[in-house]
Amino acid sequence: MPYSLDNLLVIGISSRALFDLEVEEAIFQDQGLDAYRQHQLDHEAQILKPGAGFALVKALLKLNQLPPGKRLVEVVIMSRNSSETSLRIFNSIQHYGLDISRAVLAGGAQLAPYLQAFNVSLFLSLHEDDVQAAINAGVAAALLYKMPERVDDLEQIRIAFDGDAVIFSDDAERIYQTQGIEAFERHERENACKPLPEGPFARLLIALSYIQHNFKAPDGHALPIRTALVTARSSPAHERVIRTLRAWNIAIDETFFMGGVNKSAVLAAFKPHMFFDDQHGHCERAANVVPTGRVPYRQST
170 labelled catalytic: no
Q: Phi/psi zone of residue 40: left (φ > 0), alpha (ψ -120 to 50 degrees), beta?
A: alpha
Are the beta carbons of 289 and 262 closer than 8 angstroms?
A: no
Say if CB 79 and CB 89 are below 8 A apart.
yes
Angle at 261 between CA 272 and CA 123, to 5 degrees: 35
Q: Are 229 and 237 contacting, i.e. CB atoms less than 8 angstroms apart?
A: no
Nearest to 103 by CA among 74, 76, 130: 76
How far apart, in whole angstroms, are the C-alpha atoms of residue 128 and residue 13? 13
Question: How far is residue 35's CA from residue 29's CA, in Å, rounded to a whole number?
Answer: 10
**Pair type for strands 140-144 and 292-294:** antiparallel
Of residues 130, 152, 153, 162, which has the active-site annotation?
Answer: 162
CB 273 within 8 A of CB 226: no
Collapsing DSSP to helix, strand or coil, 182 comes out as helix
Length of the chain: 301
Q: Is 138 left (phi over 0), alpha (psi -120 to 50) or beta?
A: left
List the one residue out of 294, 287, 10, 281 whose CA is nearest residue 132: 294
Closest-CA residue to 11 (of 298, 297, 301, 293): 293
| Residues with a known catalytic role | 162
